[in-house]
Structure 1
Amino acid sequence: MGDDLLDDFIRANSERGLGVYGIHLHREGRAPIERRVRSDDRVNVYSVAKTFTSVALGLAEAEGRLTLDDRLLDHLPELRMAAADGVEEITLRQLVTMTSGTSHQWFADERIDAADLLHEIVAAPPAAASAPRFAYTDSGPYAIGRVIARATGADLRSYLIPRLFAPLDLHNPAWHTCPRGFPFAGSDLFLRTHELARFAQLLLQEGQWDGRQILPATYVRRMVTERVDTSAITESERLTYGYGLGVWIDRSGTYRMDGRYGQYAIVCPRLRATVTVTAHSEREFDLLDVIHELVLDRLA
């Protein structure tokens, strides 16, 4: 298959006004292909950062520092007195899958007025007495970042630098922080298209990079198999395939990292391929459809 595959995608981007910055295609055993619409600057990958936070959780678990079934307050016992009823039962698994049932809704573009955002998160009562449902928020990933800092002695970004960023040659990436200096965890990580593509390739390879196992293969597999129901979100049929440990389950045996304005890194184990896009798109789901129609479907 020739390089014109991505030329068709770039043509569609122009004709439909999809706002793409660049697209990178990795196919196992072949040279990568990339097309640019603008310079490959580092951009905010928004909620794609949630996948990096999930991977940090898996690394810390493999090091014996925590487990996904640990309760949040087991690592932060000083917050028990401030915690709302029910918060003491919230686990790290529920936080990473966004099924904790918290009523706290916060995203990284919102101003933080609390002296400590984490105190505000644990003080929020459960949204309802019924079984927790999937509810999308940056609150859970941020809390996970704080647990990783407590369990490892390093903030989320510092923890990942030697374990993930350095091996992938993602040199000194910026990650915005809260007023207390902790990375937002759920958003505001800045990467180039080809840098994010390396991370997608790492997941395709179940954590192997240049002959080294830098992520636990078992955790990478669990990211997809330990999925939760997302049918409570009716905004789009594209969100009904489920959510795993920091990744969206996509159609046709694929899964994806997904950030606001069209930041996508799609992993397709069946085709041994990944497709990575950075953009500023006001038509995010249209863009996702075009990635499938003009790239992934043609690979199949």
Structure 2
Amino acid sequence: MADDLLADFVRADRERGLGTYGIHVHREGHEPVSHRFRSDDRVNLYSVAKTFTSVAAGLAEAEGLLSLDDLFLDHFPELRPVAADGFERVTLRHLLTMTSGSSHHWSSYERVDPADLLREFVAAPLEAVPGERFRYVGSGPYAIGRVIARTSGADLRAYLEPRLFRPLGVHHPAWHTCPLGFPFADSELFLRTGELARFAQLILQGGEWQGRQVVPADYVRRIAAEKVSTAPVAAWGPQFSDGYGLGVWLGGDGTFRMDGAYGQFVVIDPERRAAITVTAHFERSGDLLTAIHELLATL
């Protein structure tokens, strides 16, 4: 059955050179199906990490540590003197949805030269009113990680360890950090395909795992429901034109996905009650995403 279900995808990988490391399919009411193209080593999930950071914010919100409506500078009042004009209106929701309006450009694959990346981000001039324009950068998720560290007393990885990683059976994942020791939050989280697939199943199941509500169901619902326009990046391709939620890209067909560079994907289809997880290394990741949706259409 597993070979039959994934035969077309395996053939597509071979014929199109998709560079897949592994694929895992979870369908509610069915046994999971997976295929390995190489050993299941931990790999950089790149921007899939943003969804983990979003879930951490949801957990912290449920614990009363923060609200997505909080003004960022209320958590870092010492940065008010250096904050750019207008940054006082930036909320945590703006940071998660990439709509802070900041001109700061940084992603975790770039070297961190300033003494404090957060201070540089806050001081960068705004190029749009907060909430009005989508701009896909790593600074916002990184700032969310810093808020979680300040409000909880634990850095992002340590905060998620007992609340998310341990319940899912994910043992001490690596998460690269900035020079100050804070996880990058937007990227550089390393997991196996199978470990990421457990997170995918958790989200599909509304935050429930093995009879336990690990993530609040209301927050899981909001991940794809709180949508902002991604019109400024629509030229990247049709897969980027349907909006962005709280750390996920939205699809016009009712699906949503976690999306990392070089083909790290989790595609969740609430209607089919299915989640497909893929790790890979492929430059034209849009072709790989097409193959995933071709598979999804057969479930």
- So what's the TM-score if we normalise by structure 2? 0.98
Q: In 1, distance between residues paired with 2:71 and 2:131?
A: 17
C-alpha deviations, 1:175-199, integer Å up to 9, x for none?
A: 0000000000000000000100000
Aligned to 2:23: 23
**For residues 154-181 of structure 1, what are the alpha-carbon distances to aligned partners after superposition, in whole Å with 9 as ceiling and x for unaligned?**
1000000000000000100000000000
Write the distance in 1 (CA, Å) between the matches of 2:129 and 2:189. 34
Q: CA RMSD in A?
A: 1.1
Q: TM-score, normalised by structure 1?
A: 0.97
Alignment coverage as a number of residue pairs: 298
Deviation string, structure 1 residues 226-254 (Cα, Å, up to 9, x no partner): 01000111110111111000111124211
Aligned to 1:248: 249
For 1:44 and 1:186, the matched residues in 2 are separated by: 11
Deviation at 1:104, TM superposition (A): 0.4
SS of residue in 2 equivalent to 1:145: helix
2:240 is aligned to 239
Is the counterpart of residue 198 in structure 1 residue 198 in structure 2? yes
Give distance in 2, aligned partners of 1:258 and 1:249: 10
Q: C-alpha displacement at 1:129, in angstroms?
A: 5.6
Q: Is the 8 A contact 1:7 1:35 kept in 2?
A: no
Aligned to 2:50: 50
d(CA) in 2 for partners of 1:76, 1:25: 42
1:269 deviates by: 1.0
* Cross-structure match for 1:270: 271
**Which whole-Å deviations, capped at 9, do the CAs of 1:251-297 have from their partners, x for residues lacking one?**
4211100000000001111111100000000110011011111x101
Q: Secondary structure at the match of 1:270?
A: coil
Partner of 1:93: 93
| Offset, 1:91 | 0.3
Q: CA deviation at 1:152?
A: 0.6
TM-superposed CA distance for 1:130, in Å, is: 8.8
Contact 2:100–2:130 (Cα < 8 Å) also in 1: no
Fraction of identical pairs, as percent: 65
Pick closer, same or farther for the CA change 1:208–1:114 going to 2, 3 Å. same
Deviation for aligned residue 1:90: 0.3
Q: 1:135 matched to which residue of 2?
A: 135
Specify the alignment match of 2:164 in structure 1. Answer: 164
Q: Which whole-Å CA distance do the structure 2 matches of 1:52 and 1:291 have between them?
A: 21
Q: Partners of 2:213 and 2:229 in 1: how far apart?
A: 31
Deviates more, 1:182-191 or 1:124-133: 124-133
Q: Give the conservation status (yes or no) of the 8 Å contact 1:146–1:155.
A: yes
Amino acid at match of 2:157: R
CA distance in 1 between counterparts of 2:137 and 2:3 reads 38
**Number of the residue aligned with 2:81:** 81
Matched with 2:147 is 147
Aligned partners of 2:227 and 2:59: how far apart in 1? 19
On the 8 A contact 2:89/2:130 being kept in 1, the answer is no
Which residue identity does 1:79 align to in structure 2? L
Shift of 1:5: 2.0
After the TM superposition, list the runs of 4 or more consecutive aligned residues in structure 1 that deviate by more than 4 angstroms. none
Structure 2 match to 1:258: 259
What are the ranges of 5 or more consecutive residues in structure 2 without an aligned counterpart? none
Check whether the contact 2:90–2:130 (CA below 8 A) recurs between aligned residues: no
Partner Cα distance (1:5, 1:145) in 2: 39
Change (3 A) 1:14 1:99: same
Deviation at 1:7, TM superposition (A): 2.0
Distance 1:84 1:290 in 2: 44
- Do the aligned partners of residues 65 and 130 (structure 1) sit closer, same or farther apart at CA in structure 2, a change above 3 Å counting? closer
After TM superposition, the structure 1 stretch with the greater mean CA deviation from structure 2, 218-227 or 6-15, is: 6-15
1:134-157 C-alpha deviation (Å, 9 max, x unpaired)? 000000000000000011111000
Per-residue Cα deviation, 1:8-30 (whole angstroms, up to 9, x for no partner):
10111111111110100011121
1:129 and 1:70, CA in 2 relative to 1: closer, same or farther beyond 3 A? closer
Counterpart secondary structure, 2:271: helix
